[in-house]
Structure 1
Amino acid sequence: MNQKQVNILFDERLLVDKLIFTGQVKTSWSVEKTLSTLLERTGLRYRRIRKDTYLILEKNDTKSVQVNPLPADIKAVATASKGSDSPLAQPMNPGLVPLQMKQPLDQTVTGVVTDSEKGEPIPGVSIVIKGATRGTNTDANGKFSISVPNGNAVLIFSFVGFEKQEVTVGNRTQLNIALNNDLKELNEVLVVGFGTQKKINATGAISTIGTRELIQSPVANISNSLVGRLPGLFATQSGGEPGNDGSKIRIRGVGTFSGNTDPLTLVDGIQVDNYNNIDPNEIESVTILKDASSTAVYGIRGANGVLIITTKRGKVGPPKVSYTFNQGFNSFTDMREMMNSADYATHFNEALKNDTFVTGAVYVPRYTDQDIELYKNGQDPIFHPNVDWFDVMFKKVSTQSQHNINISGGQTKVKYFISAGFFNQEGLFKDTRDVVDAFSPQSIYKRYNVRSNFNFDVTRRLKLTLDLSSQTETRSGNNGPSTERVVGDIGRASPLSTPGVVDGKVVNITTGSQNNPYVSLLYPGQAGGLKRSYRNYLNGNVRADYDLDALTAGLSVHANVAMQTYNDQQITNTKTLITYLATKLPDGTVNLVPSTTEAQFNFAQVGTFTRRVTAEFGIDYKRSFALHNVTGLLLYNQQKTFDPALAFLIPKGYQSFVGRATYDYNGRYLAEVNVGYNGTENFAPGKRFGLFPAYSLGWVVSQEPFFQKAGFINFLKIRGSYGVVGNDNIGGTRFLYRSTSYSSVPNIYYFGNVGSTYSGFPGIREGATGNPDVTWERAVKQNIGLEMWFWKDKIRFTADVFNEKRSDILATPQTISSIAGLAQPASNLGKMENKGYEVDIAYTDKIGNLGYRVSANLSFARNKVLYRDEIPNRYAYQNRTGQRLGQNFGLIAEGLYNTLEEVNDPARPVYSYSNNKIQPGDIRYRDYNGDGIIDNFDAAPIGFSNIPEKTFGSTISLNYKGFDFSVLFQGVTNVSHYYTRFQKGTGYGQAPPEGSPSYFNESWSVERYEAGLPIRFPRFSVNSNPNNEGSSFWLADASYLRLKNAEVGYKFQPGILKRVGLNSCRIYVNANNLITWDRMLPGIDPENTSTGDTNTEPYPLVRTINAGLNLNF
């Protein structure tokens, strides 16, 4: 296409309020015809004064025009304007403006811009013609319209948080553009303490996760969704009971051996005690604050880190309705196979025989060959039962379901997000009503969620937010022992102790103590029955922000008031259940005799009501002076909790004065100061408030001019922080500074002859002595971090190294003699150290239509007890000081004794326990201290503690033409757990008898040893034996790698959906706790381990297979 450069001179005042129509101009016209057409009806005319120069005049202007050579400055402008797309140049002579005559704009392009992942329209997208300043923006519905010169024009689409996209128009008049998320996210806004910051300017150690990752896990609560996804977050899920299956969350490990280790948890800036009842569909992001710089504003509550949950809010645009439905099926991640009755009886006889080896007694088997045959053939199911209690008491599959519907949108003045959700989860106990007339002990959890978040722009200066939410939970279960005790009784029930239920009756076959899991579950003869718990949480939060830029630019104030209430009602329905004793009559018939009497039905209800009030007022400042950017915050926060369970019925309160100042020079040099001055009523007057300052610096090296040549590195930031934070939840009782008053105790003193007749008399005893110097724990934290982006931001890398030294940990003095006659009060004596590192790396790219992302994170935190005032042991290696918190101790096992020659080897001392002699089949222990004797002084540190030192996670995600796939691998290392149950289970003589897994069939015996068969466990014994001692034999490496989550989904094409009024539709299938690789014994989940009580066992973890649907209208 031929183009011609011309100069047009005119007085710019002539153009005021002049409109022209360009649609009738054709490119084939001459300049003169074009000007005549454009100036028609404008009252203007043109005159050609040179070959390529035209002058615009009024039609009634008849003055002659003198033609002189063009001034030099106009010639320069005309020359410089060649090839420029700018239609106007700045006037060089008063009243005259040289104008480039552009090709008429004769092509209009319209379209819609959407989010490539969500399919939702994006308002406010900038659209400009490449090389020109002309442009437009999308409206609230993502629509746009723009005129372009010709088909060669290139349109640039850009929006914060999305990748810039360039599109050549061609011969199209309709363009529908899908923008991809911008992987850099450097302008992402991070939620921090009492405010927000741009990610590029943050100097603290902060990690965050969005709602998309959270809802990929089909779990009931948020804590389980976070596992493996954030560096620095350590999580352990110890049980799978519905409504009680949340993970224990720690940030950067453990820093105290006395106080609480949980992080401070906030929802939209307000502290909450339970965040696992929030519907994940309501959440926008979860952020963890890890170093002193980011947590110092919380001062006395910031030592364990901070977890901040931000809920969704409305955005400008038409109403958007989203509905999500999930249907899931749960089963245990692992279940051990139990020993049958015939094997159990055989091994019991074997245990009796083993015990005669050293006693010389005559071996008399308890079970005859006929008994064992009856256990095998099942012809006498009542008196010779063969019960697999895990199979009898648990079902294979249970169900869960989840619904959520939310609507969001708004205009400039009002924006809203409203959500309602329902979650239902059943446990895996079988419904006992199928076999016995009793209440069902099944664990059932239901949750109802409602949330409404409103934003009001009342005036240009005044903005209000109003947040209301409610969570209602119902739990149903047995009213007897704890679920852990019931599971423990199932796990330790022998297969031959009782048939369980016969003809709808709970039956025992012997009197006295025995283990019938139905007895534990239904609790007959006592307050057995059904317990229902109703818990309701109501939360309200009102905030006002007022802009004071009339006083000075960047100044504003805000005020916030929040109220939280918690109502807990427990209802119990009890009815004593009759148990029966089975006896065999002479004619061979079975007689069931009631052993308990039936009682009437009982009903009871108890409840508690708790409320918390939070008030806050703050002054905010944010301003830029050329390349200098500063922010400031001054804030007062007060919180008071009213709880009838609090000691002395005195409300628990906090007061905080907070300050923050940040500075950055051109986004290159960063500095931040945070300070909290906080107090609580829990300490003595004069000890209640403390100052907690923190400082941090950052250097964005990639902003330096010299760094522009760095090539493959696109972004590089170095940051560091130092500060002091505290922990007021130090353990012990409330108000430790107060002495316990003297109290009257009945029957505290006894007079008379012991062993014959004596009586107890009431008296007064002295209480505990208070310590007015008790105060909070003090943590000094240091952190150095590095953030890098490589190869056009395809690789993102973050690394942090941290060190914490905590002092003033509450401990009871041990080195003061008890001769003082009074227990010493607890004091702030303890010291600990916790240090480690974190690494987070992600690679994102696209090949054609295939997009993919691979990420991995690794966290390491090792603690050490520096001081705890313990009495020194004879051997230093047995001191807990200097060890990890929770370090396991025990004898070091070196295999088994197999022959008498090995037992009697004089060069190898043996260990005698409770005067029982060592014999073949027993564990061989190491003489750790080398004194020639095996005893308790040989117990040394073994393995690790039960708190993982390393945790890691890795995600792989793919998307291709509407299909998406993702997997999350998660695991831990440097962690050990005792097989407490099995350590004691090798002694069959204990009552009630222990249930044994089938792999105990590989226990030592003379026959197995001589036959060369595999041997995994020591010999069985009815009597106590040295094999029950705590040792490395029973200590397991609890490291594991788990396929934590997997999901595959498909998003239907928009064209199909519009016919039925849908914006998007996605179907998916996902799974949680799918596969686990570990070194534990079969049937034992490495997270699901006992805490040491042989009578209890955690409710097993569950695997969930889930199908879901998401609709957006």
Structure 2
Amino acid sequence: MRFKQKLFVTAIAKIKMVVMQTFFLLFLINFAKADNRLNFSESYRSSNTKNIKNLNLSKLVYQPKGTADITVTGTIVDEFGLSIPGVNVSEKNTKNVTSTDVNGKFSIRVKDENAILLISSVGFSAKEIRVGTQNVFKITLSSSINELQDVVVVGYGTQSKPTVTGSVSTITTKQLTQSPVANISNSLVGRLPGLFATQTSGEPGADGSRLRIRGVGTFNGDADPLVLVDGIQVENFNNIDPNEIESLSILKDASSTAVYGIRGANGVIIITTKRGVSGKPQINYTFNYASNSFTDLRKSMNSFDYASSWNKGIELDRYVTQSNTPLRFTPEELEKYRTGSDPVFFPNTDWYDLMLRNSSGQSQHNVNVRGGQDKVKYFISAGFFDQSGLFTDFTYLTQKFDANNNFKRYNFRSNFNFDVSKDLKISLDVSAQTENRKLNNSQGGTSRTIGDIGRAAPLSGPGIVDGKIVEIGQGQNNPLVAFLTNAGSGGIRREYRNNLNGTIKADYLLNRITKGLGVHGEVSLQTFNSQSITNTITTPTFRAQEIPGGYVLQPLAEATTFQFLTSGGNRRSTFGKLSIDYNRSFGNHNVTGLLLYDQQKNYNAPNLQFSEIPRGYQSAVARTTYNYKRKYLAEFNGAYNGTENFAPGKRFGFFPAGSIGWIPSEESFFKKNKYISFLKFRASYGVVGNDQIGGNRFLFRPTSYSDVGNTYRFGAGSAVGTYVGFPGVREGISGNPNITWERANKANLAVETYLIDEKIKIVAELFSENRNSILAQPQTFLNFSGFRQPPANLGRMSNKGFELDASFNDRIGDNFDYRISGNFSFARNKVLFRDEVNNPLTPYRLTTGQRLGQFYGLVADGLFNTWDEVNDANRPVYENRPRIQPGDIRYKDINGDGVINADDNVPIGYSTTPEKTYGFTLFSRYKSLDISVLFQGVGNVSIAYTGFQRSFGWTSAVPQGTADYLIESWTPERFAQGLPINFPRLSAGTSNSPNNPSFGNSSYFIADASYLRLKNVELGYTLNPKLVKRLGLSSMRFFFTANNLFTWSSVFQGIDPENNITRPDSNEEPYPLTRTINAGINVNF
């Protein structure tokens, strides 16, 4: 606690110091010139200055000494013709400034007709207008979103969107902030073509989505994309406040990612944060408060159904076990469970209801200021996020020991731009993130607790009786005890993480040498430190002992005091770049060039273990683009870079790429028309790499010897018991000095078009990737040799697919506009080669030729429903399963040998990575009211119910929980009555019992995990500008949002098709996804 308080106080003090220094600097910049003074226009001086409510800010003008000669008036509107209040209007190179009123009107007196008006407002593109002989203007500002769509952020720079020949998709801050979530990755779901996102947990602080760009292209190491924030690589971008972000781009093909060389094969995500703009300070404040609840939870059987099913399972097992096993529950006991007459000894506990709450709170604050003048521009932001978990508050039982999880995050960012001279520009960026997370420290963490709840039988304990935790028998699975005590839980861990990032950049124009030439340099430092505090405590528990007329609670475990354990670590990274760039036009010929040197060093001090020795990257990058009349396009780029992950001589490689484009709509033969206003074809091909080999980074070095403990034995042997063990060493894995990076050959074809006056925009792309030199462990080496063969670059994979991105925008009348947009992506991978043993009789069992992550198992052919079916002479024999009976699964004999065994395992279903992903958005605005709806879904993906297998069986020692949908298991009665049957017969044996042929990997337990989800809904209302102006504000907007509202899927209730796709093991279940209902306000000052 002291550490937390000290950390918080230190962080606040530093932030206050930075903010005070920043605003003092701005104060000096704005008021440094002593010969300027604040004047009021004549019309304002003649007005009633005492009536402050009628103050018109458009008549408050900050002017230098001297008299202005021309009065300029006008109206400023957006692209839809709606007036924009609070727009900054200034005379260039002077202190003469005003702003528009609630009707978007302004009036300003300028020196003469050569004066230039600077028009700027947050959220819109700035404009410069020469006054000339005109003194009345109607000015239209374009949204900065449209500006971002015209300028695309690419690797090491920006390009004009019409001339981009690579594959790049972009979204802006408006879309990112629509979802009230802690992690940016969750805001991306369904919004970008080619981005496959899977959220596998809803746990606070660990609910980020797993991102894949155009699917998966490797079966080794890390398939995550490279992420850069303002050009600097980061390990985690989910800790950034979405309000700090201007745009986010994903780079997908080789033409756009080859400049990153060995780090570009998995795609690249580029985040650009907001920067300052010319004009008066614009202060923005956003507040969100949300309520979180689980999207879906499994319902367990009640105790009566559970006990009855257990008895029925024993009855149906008698043929298999060849024994007359007595039933587990007597009729009298069943009646007590049914009536609930004895809730202590015959409980009916809903563990989900007891241990999980219905909702929890979440809040988010952000305040930022943006502005500047010609010489200095700034953006400063501070944010706070707080999210509580959904476990029940049991502090009244645990000496105020709160086991619920929680996540808090503090964000700060300041971006400054200094125009030192006409040629020299410098920027200084500083950002910090502090995260405080509280979580379960048990093995498996929170997922183990959720798994304990799911496995707990309703009759395993009464839960809480008379304000005490009560157990009724040893060995019963009691998740409440495991959750609240240190026995098997490991306590509660509090993690404190701090990130500090600083970057200085400088750009210098060399027009004096040749026009369009410039140099760029930057240095950056990232630091990360963490501290972990683990608290453990034993909670008092009791056992109910029956006495005549009631019960008495006997202590089982006494309370203990708090125990503490601390740990921590830190690391840092340094970055440096130096580049020469060139951008010039020669008539109709437009040329750009880039030469760049980039280096990075990562340090893991002070824990400098062998595997944590600092590692570095070095890159030399070259790129050139050319276009003729902006209709014939070409780009060629390449990177020569290397990493210390490999042996000398294998560290560096060259990764080239090229792309071309053609815009027929710019041709003279292409008649201008409103039906096709823009048409572009583009193609690219190149080679990129991946150095994320996973595990030991020094695989090129041998691990020749290792201590194997007291395993060398001398004497008569263990049978006699006279041997003596001695420590020793053995040969490990020899190094492979030829290990190197993966290489991905990527091709891309695309067409872009704008139709019907640009109301319809369509982008369609085809892509293909062949990846080779994938690091893999050889499987065909003889084991009896005693030699452990090192990994080698043996694997090959392909990945092919297509994308479609389309939108339609229109306006009806003066007050109603709407937009419909959608995207669809398909990516199918195939393992082309994996060094594995090939049995000629069962080639279908190989992973080569199949999808990565493909499920394998027996092919189910329904259930045996009658003894006639079981006794059919032509029925295959089940190996090691001699007794089959009605209710068991019928399997297909794939190889026709008359035996059902492992040789009949074949690919079943799909993999756990979706091949299809899509999203579509509906938006409309009527006057001040707007609404946005986002649907998102996936297809061609499977989920294995075998992960929930322990819920299908029981053991006599430890009852296991059973979901209520298993009531629809096969029984003779259900079959005879024609009732729905979704599972094999009930069984009281364990799922892996040799007498139970109905469990294991088979198509019976592989389900289609495709789903459609109402991902996000936002309803907003913007207050009338006249009312807002009276409050002294620029704008005010109220909004209501909801996330993860509804899901349509064919999986069983309580099994989310998204976060249950990959389960760690049968003892763990992921923290369920949450539904968020949010209300917020956004205010601009």
Q: TM-score when scaled to structure 1?
A: 0.85
Higher deviation after alignment, 675-684 or 118-127:
118-127
* CA drift at 1:119: 4.2
Q: 1:1092 to 1:547 in 2, by over 3 A?
A: closer
Q: 1:773 to 1:634 in 2, by over 3 A?
A: same
> Is this contact kept in 2: 1:840–1:856, CA < 8 A?
yes
3-state secondary structure, aligned to 2:641 = strand
Alignment map for 1:410-425 (pairs within 5 Å): 410-425=372-387
1:448 aligns with 2:410: yes
> Is this contact kept in 2: 1:533–1:568, CA < 8 A?
yes
1:320 aligns with 2:286: no
Cα separation, 2, equivalents of 1:457 and 1:108: 29
Per-residue deviation, residues 672-724 of structure 1 (Å, max 9, x unmatched):
11111111111000101110110011111111111125651100111111100
Q: 1:160 to 1:799 in 2, by over 3 A?
A: farther
1:817 aligns with 2:817: no
3-state secondary structure, aligned to 2:900 = coil
Per-residue deviation, residues 985-1007 of structure 1 (Å, max 9, x unmatched):
32212753321111111111112
Of 972, 994, 1002, the match for 1:1006: 972
Q: TM-score when scaled to structure 2?
A: 0.87
Of 871, 875, 881, the match for 2:842: 875
* CA drift at 1:181: 4.2
Cα separation, 1, equivalents of 2:568 and 2:126: 57
Higher deviation after alignment, 1078-1087 or 183-192:
183-192
* CA drift at 1:1058: 0.7
Higher deviation after alignment, 1000-1009 or 496-505:
496-505
1:754 aligns with 2:684: no
1:248 is matched with which residue?
210
1:92 is matched with which residue?
none
Alignment map for 1:914-925 (pairs within 5 Å): 914-925=880-891
Per-residue deviation, residues 56-111 of structure 1 (Å, max 9, x unmatched):
xxxxxxxxxxxxxxxxxxxxxxxxxxxxxxxxxxxxxxxxxxxxxxxxx9997533
Q: 1:451 to 1:107 in 2, by over 3 A?
A: closer
3-state secondary structure, aligned to 1:726 = strand
Alignment map for 1:220-619 (pairs within 5 Å): 220-437=182-399, 439-481=401-443, 482-511=445-474, 513-525=475-487, 528-585=490-547, 587-619=548-580
Cα separation, 1, equivalents of 2:71 and 2:202: 63
Q: 1:1055 to 1:506 in 2, by over 3 A?
A: same
2:1083 is matched with which residue?
1111
1:858 aligns with 2:824: yes
Please tell me the residue identity of whatever aligns with 1:663: Y
> Is this contact kept in 1: 2:85–2:1025, CA < 8 A?
no
Cα separation, 2, equivalents of 1:666 and 1:126: 35
Alignment map for 1:641-1040 (pairs within 5 Å): 641-644=602-605, 647-648=609-610, 649-709=612-672, 712-752=675-715, 753-757=717-721, 758-848=723-813, 849-873=815-839, 874-912=841-879, 914-989=880-955, 992-1023=958-989, 1024=993, 1025-1040=996-1011
Q: 1:991 to 1:407 in 2, by over 3 A?
A: farther
1:627 is matched with which residue?
588
Q: 1:119 to 1:400 in 2, by over 3 A?
A: farther
1:110 is matched with which residue?
74
* CA drift at 1:186: 9.2
* CA drift at 1:592: 3.5
Cα separation, 2, equivalents of 1:892 and 1:754: 45
CA RMSD of aligned residues (A): 2.8
Q: 1:285 to 1:709 in 2, by over 3 A?
A: closer
Cα separation, 1, equivalents of 2:120 and 2:364: 37
Cα separation, 2, equivalents of 1:118 and 1:398: 41
Please tell me the residue identity of whatever aligns with 1:289: L
Per-residue deviation, residues 342-378 of structure 1 (Å, max 9, x unmatched):
1110011101100113444325211011111111222
* CA drift at 1:379: 2.4
Cα separation, 1, equivalents of 2:636 and 2:310: 69
1:217 is matched with which residue?
179
Cα separation, 2, equivalents of 1:228 and 1:967: 11
Q: 1:806 to 1:452 in 2, by over 3 A?
A: same
> Is this contact kept in 1: 2:527–2:570, CA < 8 A?
yes
* CA drift at 1:175: 7.5
* CA drift at 1:558: 1.1
> Is this contact kept in 2: 1:980–1:1093, CA < 8 A?
no
Per-residue deviation, residues 577-602 of structure 1 (Å, max 9, x unmatched):
343333324x3543444444544432
Please tell me the residue identity of whatever aligns with 2:586: F
1:636 aligns with 2:636: no
Cα separation, 2, equivalents of 1:567 and 1:118: 49
Cα separation, 2, equivalents of 1:284 and 1:1032: 47
Please tell me the residue identity of whatever aligns with 1:1016: N
Aligned length: 984
Higher deviation after alignment, 231-240 or 930-939:
930-939
> Is this contact kept in 1: 2:1009–2:1051, CA < 8 A?
yes
Alignment map for 1:75-114 (pairs within 5 Å): 109-113=73-77
Q: 1:414 to 1:120 in 2, by over 3 A?
A: farther
> Is this contact kept in 2: 1:436–1:504, CA < 8 A?
no
1:43 is matched with which residue?
none
1:1063 is matched with which residue?
1034
Please tell me the residue identity of whatever aligns with 1:784: L
Please tell me the residue identity of whatever aligns with 2:317: D
Gapped regions of structure 2 (runs ≥ 5): 1-68, 110-118, 128-133
3-state secondary structure, aligned to 1:494 = coil
2:6 is matched with which residue?
none
Per-residue deviation, residues 132-176 of structure 1 (Å, max 9, x unmatched):
xxxxxx9774676699xxxxxxxxx999998999xxxxxx99877
Of 1008, 1012, 1015, the match for 1:1044: 1015
Q: 1:964 to 1:711 in 2, by over 3 A?
A: closer
3-state secondary structure, aligned to 1:737 = coil
Please tell me the residue identity of whatever aligns with 2:853: G
Cα separation, 1, equivalents of 2:74 and 2:827: 56
Please tell me the residue identity of whatever aligns with 1:993: P
Cα separation, 2, equivalents of 1:1058 and 1:217: 29
Q: 1:601 to 1:336 in 2, by over 3 A?
A: closer
Cα separation, 2, equivalents of 1:677 and 1:472: 36
Cα separation, 2, equivalents of 1:627 and 1:146: 40
1:134 is matched with which residue?
none
3-state secondary structure, aligned to 1:773 = coil
Please tell me the residue identity of whatever aligns with 2:225: P
1:74 is matched with which residue?
none
Cα separation, 1, equivalents of 2:573 and 2:707: 35
Structure of larger gyration radius: 1
> Is this contact kept in 2: 1:125–1:159, CA < 8 A?
no
* CA drift at 1:335: 1.1
1:23 is matched with which residue?
none
1:196 is matched with which residue?
158
* CA drift at 1:841: 0.4
1:44 is matched with which residue?
none
Cα separation, 2, equivalents of 1:468 and 1:516: 49
